[in-house]
Amino acid sequence: MNSYSQAFAWLADGAHWAGPNGIPQRLLEHLGYTGLTLVIAIVIALPVGLYIGHTGRGREVVVPFTGALRALPTLGLVILLALGLGIGILPPLIALVILALPPIIAGAYSGLESVDRQVVDAARSVGFTGPGVLWRVEVPLALPLIVGGIRSACLQVIATWTVAAFLPLGGLGRFLYDALPNQDYAQLLAGSILVIVLALLVDGLFALVQRLVTPRGVLAGRTADIRTKTQSPTRKDPSWLAPEEA
Amino acid sequence: MNWVVTNWSQISDYGLAHIWLSIPPIVVGFAISLPLGWVANRFAISNGALRLVRPVLLTVAGILYAIPSLPLFALLPSLIGTRILDPLNVEIALTLYAIALMVRTTADGLAAVSDDVKLSASAMGYSTARRFFGVELPLAGPVLLAGLRVVSVSTVSLVTIGSVIGVNSLGFFFIDGYQRAFLTEVWVGIIGTVVIALVFDLLLVLLGRWLMPWTRRQRVSRAARLAAAEVVGA
């Protein structure tokens, strides 16, 4: 536990909270890069995902492609683009946008696909046209899953900007890369704790947003579902019938 | 290409190291997720505090999965008393990610098995254990396989991050290639990692067909039905 007290001593040291190498500056860099990556990825991925989910077209092209993207090692892609395109923020930004696309696309189309077809048919029968069905019926119902896709993309981006901090761009990962060659375990641990706390806070925030955007009707349906389940004894798990418990 | 030929022994060494680092997290993660997924469902409809087992398990899994890999690698030595260069840090971290992914899939897959089928098995005299391994597990098999494929791909990819803290795999070529500004080396690392991921995926699919021959037949019959429907429709 000694290493932890050292790490917290490092975190408590006022000298680490000021200047261009201080924690606030590094945190702002990390958040700025993450936000920028996420905005670009959403602008590209959301229309694609909504198109696939709404029309059902293009699925067989995009789905295997996004699956294959998952096999790409993030560190390799960042280094490949950094070496290929030169210095600056652009190469890692491109790499990270590419990595953030699959979860957002998947969240959008699986969200739209999860919408009950009868609801869509009902919307059409009361006069909704294509865009009306999409924006006023499908998207609101799919919003929790769409936000879920953005949530996993965001966590992936936070993690990968940490790894990408070997580039001279800053970010919280800088503390880790500076600590490794010097075997400065207090800083290594402190930097790791900072990134983990940031990731968990962002994850919690997204969980909250997901709950807020869930339409009230869907939530009501869910509670009704639980109630019918508990009231009807036949739906209960029949494991009490198992001989060894009898 | 010359570089690949002259350095082939190093490439295959790191490739093998990559494979050996990838297998334990996938296998152990799956083995641990199976009972956890079962437990999550077992108490889903019970009353009182045990009802919380499922949400608590799934929430912990979600939080675990949200933790970035590099900081987790760096954090583990002080948590479990290993040395910073010990491959065990990477192995344990990747096993935790595998569990985080698989517990939800296992719980969902087992929950999707029809109550009627489970009741029938119990009525025929299956014990809880035999019903689990003989009925529930095979029926949840396709879902478990899908989850395992995701775990496999992400594990093979994440092993490369270990190179940052000195646990070498094909990820070594990323770090070394960057330091020497040598693109070929980085390409070797990327292609090697993707090839291992694809081979693992193929092996899992083949394993699935071998263990669950009925899924293959079902797919054919569904395709046949669709074709028939099209003919009738036309």
ipTM of the complex model: 0.83
Which chain A positions have a beta carbon within 8 Å of B78's beta carbon? 3-4, 7, 185, 189
**Residue B218 pLDDT class (50, 70, 90 cuts):** low
Quickly tell me which residue has 């990819």 as its tokens: B157
* Closest residue in B to A188 (Cα–Cα): B74
Domain ranges of chain A: 20-228
Question: A183: buried, middle or exposed (CB in 10 Å: 19+, 13-18, 0-12)?
Answer: exposed
* Nearest by Cα to B123 from A233, A242, A246: A242
What is the rounded average pLDDT of the residues B40-67? Answer: 83
Q: What is the CATH number of domain A20-228?
A: 1.10.3720.10
Kindly list the structural domains of chain B, giving each domain's residue range(s) and its CATH number in brackets, ordered by start: 2-233 (1.10.3720.10)
Number of H helices, E strands in chain B: 11, 0
* Nearest by Cα to B73 from B61, B65, B85: B85
Confidence at residue B62, expressed as pLDDT on a 0 to 100 scale:
87
The answer to whether the beta carbons of residues A10 and A192 sit under 8 Å apart is no
What is chain B's length?
A: 234
Confidence at residue A167, expressed as pLDDT on a 0 to 100 scale:
86
Q: How far apart are CA A202 and CA A150, in angstroms?
A: 11
Q: Which amino acid is at A80?
A: L
CB contact under 8 A, B127 and A244: yes
What is the rounded average pLDDT of the residues B103-108? Answer: 90
The answer to whether the beta carbons of residues A217 and B98 sit under 8 Å apart is no
Confidence at residue B220, expressed as pLDDT on a 0 to 100 scale:
52
Q: How far apart are CA B30 and CA B43, in angstroms?
A: 21
CB contact under 8 A, B164 and A180: yes
Query: In chain A, which stretches have pLDDT less than 70?
Result: 1, 217-246
The structure's pTM equals 0.83
Quickly tell me which residue has 């969200």 as its tokens: A111
Query: Angle, nearest 10°, between helix axes B53-66 and A185-213?
Result: 130
Quickly tell me which residue has 């508990």 as its tokens: A230
User: Closest approach of chain A CAs to the CA of B84, in angstroms?
Assistant: 9
What is the rounded average pLDDT of the residues B184-210? Answer: 93
Q: 3-class DSSP state for residue A230?
A: helix
* Closest residue in B to A200 (Cα–Cα): B66
What is the rounded average pLDDT of the residues B39-64? Answer: 82
Could you count the other beta carbons within 10 Å of the beta carbon of residue B20?
13
Average pLDDT value over all residues in chain B: 86
Which chain A positions have a beta carbon within 8 Å of B161's beta carbon? 74-75, 163
Confidence at residue A135, expressed as pLDDT on a 0 to 100 scale:
86
Which chain B positions have a beta carbon within 8 Å of A200's beta carbon? 63, 66-67
Residues 6+ apart with CB under 8 A from A187: A7, A10, A175, A178, A179
Q: 3-class DSSP state for residue B7?
A: coil
Does residue B202 have a pLDDT over 90?
yes
Quickly tell me which residue has 């391994």 as its tokens: B133
The answer to whether the beta carbons of residues B164 and B87 sit under 8 Å apart is no
Confidence at residue B223, expressed as pLDDT on a 0 to 100 scale:
52
Which tokens go with B119? Answer: 């009741």
Q: How far apart are CA B24 and CA B95, in angstroms?
A: 8
Confidence at residue A229, expressed as pLDDT on a 0 to 100 scale:
41
Chain-centre distance for alpha carbon B13? 24
Using CB atoms, which residue from A4, A159, A189 is nearest to B68? A159
* Nearest by Cα to A203 from B63, B59, B154: B63
The answer to whether the beta carbons of residues B98 and B33 sit under 8 Å apart is yes
* Closest residue in A to B64 (Cα–Cα): A200
Could you count the other beta carbons within 10 Å of the beta carbon of residue B38?
16
Query: Angle, nearest 10°, between helix axes A23-55 and A59-71?
Result: 150
Is B89 an interface residue toward A (CB < 8 Å)? Answer: no
User: What does A119-137 look like in DSSP terms, one character per residue?
Assistant: HHHHHHHTT--HHHIIIII
The answer to whether the beta carbons of residues B28 and B98 sit under 8 Å apart is yes
Is B95 an interface residue toward A (CB < 8 Å)? Answer: no
* Closest residue in A to B146 (Cα–Cα): A67
* Nearest by Cα to A142 from A89, A106, A94: A106
Which tokens go with B40? Answer: 């999550």
Which tokens go with B153? Answer: 């791909």
Is B177 an interface residue toward A (CB < 8 Å)? Answer: yes
The answer to whether the beta carbons of residues B171 and B189 sit under 8 Å apart is yes
% of chain B exceeding 90 in pLDDT? 47
CB contact under 8 A, A159 and B122: no
CB contact under 8 A, B74 and A188: yes
What is the rounded average pLDDT of the residues B96-117? Answer: 91
Confidence at residue B221, expressed as pLDDT on a 0 to 100 scale:
54
Residues 6+ apart with CB under 8 A from B136: B110, B113, B118
